[in-house]
């Protein structure tokens, strides 16, 4: 048992080190989260959240929200630049939780992007290179995170981005929960004076330049018996945060829409259990 635990810790450490290396020269992070399947949570009782596997979607979202809060990874309220320091710490916190087991960590093949790749082309390009049953929706969400609304000053200062996505999956008819941590590095450039042969002069804009990148995917299985066995201890440590609020907590302000409300401040100031 000790040997198995040591191997799992080593695998987790290798995955974290690989992601840390990928983030080492990043200037900014855009983050989001997704939930797939069925949230069967049916109780507001904190003990039952961890004690009953039917509520484990909320148990997992609470652990993720706690990890984000403790490491300062707060995309909904902090600048994209500051997240380069806290994202690796968040990944470390999540992957080291004893109730999560790292079952795989993979890199895609080379993702080759042409100069001025559009968001739609980007989505289509990466869709089949993501190691997930939900690759289509994950690709769509990553495309939504593209920072193509940057102005000249921002694009000059923030050239290297990490697109980060946390995915929770709880299949319908099952109480098993898994997590995927998806990320990729992307360079952004800016056309200060776009060239045109005819017609009106194009508006200066950020764009995806020619580059080769890759997609990192780490999958964690949630050990349901651990959550059940340690329910009382977990209740004493963690505020309860439902799936919807967890997603808002670790999602960067919408690049094309209203910004999410400051939910972390709300979380800190109110009771431990939110209404679902």
Q: At 1, is the pLDDT very low, low, confident or very high (cuts 50, 70, 90)?
A: very low
CA–CA separation, 257 vs 237, rounded Å? 35
Mean pLDDT of 111-132: 92
pLDDT band at 22 (very low <50, low <70, confident <90, very high): low
Q: Tell me, what's the pLDDT at 205?
A: 85
The mean pLDDT value for 121-134 works out to 90
The two three-digit tokens of residue 197, written as one number: 């042969």
Q: Are 216 and 93 in contact (CB under 8 A)?
A: no
| Terminal CA-CA length for the chain | 39
Mean predicted confidence (pLDDT) in 179-195: 86
Q: What is the pLDDT of residues 193-225, one digit of tens each?
A: 655 555 554 566 899 999 999 999 999 999 999
Task: Tell me the average pLDDT of the chain.
Answer: 85
Q: Is 133 a residue whose pLDDT tops 90?
A: no
And the tokens for 183? 């990320």
Task: Give me the mean pLDDT over the 160-187 stretch.
Answer: 96
Q: pTM for the full model? A: 0.83
Answer yes or no: are the C-beta atoms of 182 and 138 closer than 8 Å.
Answer: yes
What's the mean pLDDT in 133-161? 92
Q: How far apart are CA 86 and CA 97, in angstroms?
A: 17
Using alpha carbons, list the distances in angstroms from residue 27 to 23, 53, 80, 81, 85: 9, 40, 8, 6, 10
* 40-55 per-position pLDDT tens digit: 999 889 999 999 999 9
Residue with the larger pLDDT of the pair 12 and 103: 103
> Please, are residues 168 and 61 in contact by the beta-carbon 8 Å criterion?
yes
State the CB neighbour count (10 A cutoff) for residue 234. Answer: 23
Q: Please tell me the distance from the alpha carbon of residue 237 to that of residue 272, in angstroms, as a whole number.
A: 11
Residue 78 CB neighbour total at 10 angstroms: 15
Output the pLDDT for position 197: 54
Q: Which residues pair with 150 in a beta bridge?
A: none
Q: How far apart are CA 276 and CA 273, in angstroms?
A: 9
Query: Which pLDDT band holds residue 191 (cuts at 50, 70, 90)?
Result: confident
- What are the start-end ranges of the H helices in the chain? 2-23, 46-51, 56-71, 83-95, 119-127, 135-144, 152-157, 224-229, 231-237, 243-249, 263-269
Diameter of the chain measured on Cα atoms: 70
């Amino acid at each position: 048992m000790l040997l198995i635990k040591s191997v799992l810790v080593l695998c987790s450490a290798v995955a974290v080190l690989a992601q840390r290396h990928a983030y080492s020269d990043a200037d900014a992070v855009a983050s989001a989260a997704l939930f797939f399947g069925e949230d069967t949570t049916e109780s507001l009782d904190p003990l039952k959240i961890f004690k009953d596997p039917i509520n484990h979607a909320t148990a997992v979202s609470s652990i993720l929200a706690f990890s984000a809060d403790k490491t300062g990874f707060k995309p909904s309220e902090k600048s994209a630049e500051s997240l380069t320091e806290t994202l690796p710490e968040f990944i470390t916190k999540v992957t080291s939780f004893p109730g999560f087991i790292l079952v795989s960590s993979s890199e895609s093949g080379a993702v080759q992007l042409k100069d001025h790749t559009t968001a739609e082309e980007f989505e289509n390009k990466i869709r089949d290179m993501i190691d997930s049953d939900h690759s289509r929706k994950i690709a769509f969400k990553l495309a939504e995170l593209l920072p193509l609304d940057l102005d000249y000053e921002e694009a000059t200062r923030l050239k290297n981005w990490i697109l980060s996505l946390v995915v929770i999956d709880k299949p319908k008819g099952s109480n098993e929960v898994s997590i995927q941590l998806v990320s990729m590095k992307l360079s952004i450039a800016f056309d200060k004076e776009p060239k045109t042969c005819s017609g009106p002069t194009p508006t200066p804009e950020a764009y995806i330049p020619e580059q080769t990148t890759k997609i990192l995917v780490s999958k964690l299985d949630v050990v349901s018996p651990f959550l059940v066995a340690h329910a009382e201890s977990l209740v004493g440590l963690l505020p309860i945060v439902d799936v919807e609020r967890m997603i808002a907590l670790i999602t960067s302000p919408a690049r094309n829409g209203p910004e999410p409300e400051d939910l972390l401040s709300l979380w800190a100031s109110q009771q431990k259990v939110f209404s679902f």
